[in-house]
Structure 1
Amino acid sequence: MLTGYEHVNVNRDLYIQVNDVHQLYVADCGNPKGVPVVFLHGGPGGHTGKACLQFFNPEKYRVILFDQRGCGKSHPFLSTEKNTPFDSVHDMEVIRQYFGFSSWVVFGGSYGSSLALTYAIIHPERVKHLVLRGIFLGRKVDVDWLYRGGAGYFYPEQYESFRSFVSEYEDPVVGYHEALIGDDEERRDEAYKRWAKWEDSLLTLFPKFPDPTTLSDEERSISLMENHYFYHKMFFESDNYLLEQADRYADIPMDIVQGRYDVICPPFGAHALAKACPKARLHLIEASCHSPYEPAMKDQLIRIMDNLGN
C-alpha cells in the first residue's frame, strides 16, 4: 500500500474575492511548473488541509486547494447567500484564470464529485482529466438513501438518534432545515450535532463513533451547507441533471474510484456514471467505505495520480 506524499510547505496561501459577498481561501502547493490540479472538497461544507495533498507527487503536480463558499477559512463563515454548485463553478473559473491555467485536472470526492461534474458540464474544455471518488449525483434517491432509510439499515442506533430529533417531519431534511435556520439557538446547535454525527458515523469501514456532546466549526458548516443544498435539491434544474448532461463530459478522460461498502454514497451512483461514460475507468475498491484516507482507497487514488503524472 502506498502511504502518500508529504508536501513540506505551501508555496503561498491567499484570499480571492469572487463576488460582493464571498472571499475564498486558496492554497497553491507543489511544483510551480507541474501539471495543474484542483482539489474539490466534499460536504458541501467541508474544507481543505494538508491531508488533501497526499495523493499528489509534489514534484509532478501543482495543486490548488480552496475552501468553498461559507466554509473552512473562507469568509463569511456559514454564509448560505449566493451559495450553490453553480456559484462554485464560477469560483473555480475565477481561480483558474487567476493562476493562468488553460486547463487542469479536476479531482473531487463525494459532493466534490458532484461539483466536478457540474464544472465539466459548463466548462468541458477546461478539464484535462476527471478523478472522482465516492460518487454523489445529487438525485432524490441519493439523498433519500442517506437520510430516509437506506444507510439507516446498516447503523440503526445512530440513525435513530438522527431521525428522532425531527420525528414529527416526514422528511428529515425539511425538519433539520427548520431547526438550522430557526431562532432557537439551543435547538439549532443540537441539529448541527445530530446531522454531523450521523454522517461521521458512516465514513469508514470500521467506524469510530464521534462524541455526541461536542460541536466543531466544521460540523456546523457540514450540517448547514449539506442541508441547504439538499433542501434546495442541489439547485439543479432536474433531479437527474448530472447524468442528463453526460454528453457534455463523457469524452473527458475519467477515473471513478468507489468503495464497495460506501454507505454514504453507495456504488449505484458510480455504476450509473460509468454506464453514462463508457470511456471512463471504474475502480471498485472492495475493502473500503467512503473516506479517501482508508488504505486501499488512498492507494488507488495515488496510483491513478502517479500514472497521470507520467
Structure 2
Amino acid sequence: MRRLDDPYFDILPETQSGMLDVGDGHEIYWEEAGNPDGIPVILIHGGPGGRTQPGFRRSLDSNIWRVIQFDQRGCGRSTPEGLIEANSLQHTIADMEALREHLEIDRWVVAGGSWGSTVTLAYGIAHPGNCLALTLISMWLCRDEDIHWWFQGVRYLFPELWHEFARHVPEAERSDLRTAYCARILDGEQEIADEFATRLYQYEEGFMRFAAPVVPLDLSRGPKYGRIFAHYARNKFFVAGDELLDGASAIAHLPVKIITGRYDCCTTPSNAFDLSQRLPEADITLVAGAGHYPTEERMSLVCLEKTSELADELQASGWRA
C-alpha cells in the first residue's frame, strides 16, 4: 500500500522496448517509458556490470519526461550476457549514440549514478552538442586515487570488511588487491573466478549502503557482475588519469546537477567536489546523512527535487520536442 505522503512518481510500464545490434557480436536491450513527446532523458546504470531497473524512474514525472533506459554490453538483458570482449567505456558511449539515432532523438538529458555518472560525464565530454543537460549522482572520476580508495582505502572505514576481502590472497599481494583479484577472476579456473567475483561483489555491497539493506544480497549475481567489473578495473575503467576532469570544460555551457552523499564510502565526495571546481556554474548538492545509493531515502528525495527542478529550468528556457 502506498503512503499518502509518498512524494515519488508512479513507475509506469515501458511504452516500447527492443534489442539494438551494436556490432562486435553485442546486442543491447533498451526500453522507453513516459511521455513520447516529453523531455528525452537517458538513465545510465551503475557497475560496471549492473543493470537497468524500472525503479530508477520513480524520480521522474512521466507526464514530463520521455525516459530511455538500456543495459550496457554484457549486462542485464543485453546479449551475450557477461561478454567482456569489445566491452569498454568507449564502446558504451558509441552504443548510446547508436541508440539516440535509432530513437531519432536530437538532444537528450543524460543522467547516471556511480559508474553511470562516469559514463554520463564521458558521454557529455565526447558529445556535448547532443546533450540538453547532465545529472551526475554519486560521481566517480576513476582517477588513480579513486580506484586505489575502492580497493585499498576502504580499510580505514570498514576494516573488518576489507580484511575479509583481503585475506583470501597471500599477504604479499594485499597492497594491490586490484591486480590480485583481477588475475583470479579473469585468468583463473572457472570455479576460482566465480568465487573471487562473488567476493568482490559482496565487498562492494558491504560499503555502499548508509542504511542496512532491507533484503538479503543476491549472491547469484556475483560471478557475472564481478567478471565485468574486474575487466573494467584491470583497464582502469578505460579512463586515463585526470581525463574526465581535464575534459569537463566541454560541458561548461550545459546545465549540470551534481548530487552525492556526504558519507559516500564508494565514490567519495571528493569526486563531486573536484568536478564542481572545474564547473563553477554547476549545481552541486552534498546530501547530509546519505551514502552512495540513490535509492535510499535522503538521496532519492534530493534526486526527485533536482530532477523536477531541471525539468522546470528546461521548460522555462523554451525546450520543445
TM-score (norm 1): 0.94
Counterpart mapping for 1:1-12 below 5 A: 3-12=7-16
Matches within 5 A, 1:229-308: 229-236=232-239, 238-308=240-310
Q: 1:165 aligns with which of 157, 163, 168?
A: 168
% of aligned pairs identical?
31
**1:7 and 1:210, CA in 2 relative to 1: closer, same or farther beyond 3 A?**
closer
- Provide the rounded CA distance (Å) in 1 between the counterparts of 2:36 and 2:216: 41
Letter in 2 for 1:160: H
Paired residue type of 1:85: L
2:150 equivalent to 1:142: no
* 2:207 pairs with one of 196, 202, 209: 202
d(CA) in 1 for partners of 2:159 and 2:180?
A: 19
Instruction: For 1:190, give the aligned amino acid.
Output: E
CA apart distance, 1:211: 6.3
Whole-angstrom distance in 2 between the partners of 1:87 and 1:251: 25
The 8 Å contact of residues 147 and 172 in structure 1, kept in 2 or not, is answered as yes
Displacement after TM superposition at 1:183 (Å)? 4.2
Structure of higher RCO (CA pairs closer than 8 Å, 6+ residues apart): 1
Confirm whether residue 178 of structure 1 aligns to residue 180 of structure 2: no
The aligned amino acid for 1:73 is: R
- Name the CA shift for 1:197/1:247 in 2 (closer, same or farther; >3 Å): same
Contact 2:24 2:86 in 1 (8 A): no
C-alpha distance in structure 2 between counterparts of 1:45 and 1:289, whole Å: 20
Q: Contact conserved, 1:200 with 1:209, CA < 8 A, in 2?
A: no
RMSD over aligned Cα atoms: 1.7
Question: Equivalent residue for 2:107?
Answer: 103
Contact in 1 for aligned 2:11/2:55 (Cα 8 Å): no
Provide the rounded CA distance (Å) in 2 between the counterparts of 1:267 and 1:211. 27
The 3-state SS of whatever aligns with 1:39 is strand
Matched letter for residue 290 of structure 2:
S
CA deviations over 1:208-250 (Å, ceiling 9, x no partner): 49968x6323x333312222112112223x3111011111112
Give the partner amino acid of 1:96: R
Indicate conservation of the 8 Å contact 1:200/1:210, yes or no.
no
Return 5+ residue gaps in structure 2 as ranges: 313-321
Report the counterpart of residue 135 of structure 2 in structure 1: 131
| Whole-angstrom distance in 2 between the partners of 1:50 and 1:227 | 26
1:190 correspondence with 2:195: yes
AA aligned to 1:196 is Y
Q: Deviations over 1:241-274 (max 9, x none)?
A: 1011111112211010010000001111111000
Equivalences for residues 6-45 of structure 1 within 5 A: 6-45=10-49
State whether residues 115 and 140 of structure 2, in contact with CA within 8 Å, keep that contact through their aligned partners in structure 1.
yes
Alignment gaps of 5+ in structure 1: none
Tell whether the 8 Å contact from 1:201 to 1:209 is kept in structure 2 after alignment: no
Q: How many corresponding residue pairs?
A: 306
Opposite residue 232 of structure 2, the aligned amino acid is Y
